[in-house]
Structure 1
């Protein structure tokens, strides 16, 4: 009969294995916590407890799969944390990233929980729209996406977290035309197709291309959204975009071209990289 190992031993072996295969060692903590079905605090209190042989085998299989293929652990466990909440994710959606929390925080500060209308464009798993609906209960929140698979996940997340969001299927702002918004927010596809080779396999092979890549050196989505803003904004509107770190000047120029009187700011993320465009525009 195979002998059980203690949790810290199982974790150490897996971390070293991942490091050897140029993967992030901390993945081992997240996966083992998942297979043990325990909270983060319980996990660290159990370090000297034995890990059942069956659990250790499942865990090792998952570690090897991640190391060999790059499949995101979020796809294995089916969720990711965002803004303190657990969101379901799968192959139809981007995996939420910490930088997007900073985008959401900027919107929350601007909205100040007033009775306004917000539209999230290209919602994916719904992280932005659902978070805003929960953090700003006075706001009316809409979200669009062209992907039926993504919208299924977004609906699921809204239902599980108790968020009141109206989802619309279609290309960027198109399904929202006929309605009016005070705040427009989007984390659209912004990676140039020629940059695909520079992505890690965890992103390049497993995140949906539809949510990653855009024509015109990654600017096509911004251009299309900006062109439709006059059709959906009230007399004035605040626009928030997540951007690639080298796109600040280009996206700012697209906005000032369309709205010469707008006040456009390029904002840096916690890593001091250009990450957010915030624009206040008037008709």
Structure 2
């Protein structure tokens, strides 16, 4: 079967599952991944005959897509802030709004030598990107998951940056081991009651440990991290959070109660309150 004929088959098999724009993108990404073609080369190779191994790769990906598995897990990679990242189901797929959080920190600290702590690093997207963007920074990252830390370490290596990774459950931490200019976290913040809003590709495949919190204690990570941060931040140091859009007022209030006098709430590209910057 030619690449063009397989594309027709691929589209037909997915049209009941996804919008056209999505399955067209899926095919393009898979062709780039499996055939090592640049995007512009795909139509130039429509008469390419797929061999059995290539066809099997596409067929397996097609089947997984029909089960709502995220494409990023199928190809085991994604791009974040323009940098390549390896992925596995042990870590969340980095989101565009998190890129905005990284950009906020970069804007505030570019051309400086600073110390940064990323709490709940997952794939290392925040820590590794900041290490790339701020080459003078010393970056440390914490996560409770050993599997996540392996992915994060691989991403630091492939992006040629030095990040110190530490396995630690932040909820069990009594005090941070040193002071920092920047503490940043994108902790679990989706309440159980919000699961009805979550798409199947997220709910069924992404790690719940990194996503969900109990309804009655939704700000557990924010409270703990803020309490640690107010003791560990350097003078003029800043705490940054990605937050639950539905709990923005409560999160601002929590930070002020803990002792942060300057708290700035920022909307993401979709106009939803998703980021906080706090100083004391």
Q: TM-score, normalised by structure 2?
A: 0.91
Q: Which residues of 2 match residues 77-96 of structure 1 at below 5 A?
A: 77-96=75-94
Gaps (5+ residues) in structure 1?
none
The alignment status of 1:251 with 2:269, answered yes or no, reads no
Shift of 1:90: 0.4
Q: Distance in 2 between matches of 1:172 and 1:27?
A: 37
The alignment status of 1:242 with 2:242, answered yes or no, reads yes
CA contact (8 A) 1:168 1:176 kept: no
The alignment status of 1:13 with 2:9, answered yes or no, reads yes
CA contact (8 A) 1:117 1:182 kept: yes
Q: Distance in 1 between matches of 2:244 and 2:40?
A: 35
Partner of 1:225: 225
| Cα 1:45/1:181, change in 2 over 3 Å | farther
| Cα 1:141/1:126, change in 2 over 3 Å | same
Q: TM-score, normalised by structure 1?
A: 0.90
| Cα 1:107/1:175, change in 2 over 3 Å | farther
Aligned length: 274
Q: More displaced, 136-145 or 235-244?
A: 235-244
Partner of 2:107: 109
Shift of 1:66: 1.5
Gaps (5+ residues) in structure 2?
none
Shift of 1:9: 3.7
Shift of 1:247: 2.2
Shift of 1:125: 0.6
Partner of 1:169: 167
Partner of 1:266: 265
| Cα 1:21/1:124, change in 2 over 3 Å | same
Shift of 1:192: 0.4
Q: Distance in 1 between matches of 2:34 and 2:233?
A: 47
- The RMSD of aligned alpha carbons is 1.9
Shift of 1:198: 2.7
Q: More displaced, 167-176 or 232-241?
A: 167-176
CA contact (8 A) 2:90 2:207 kept: yes
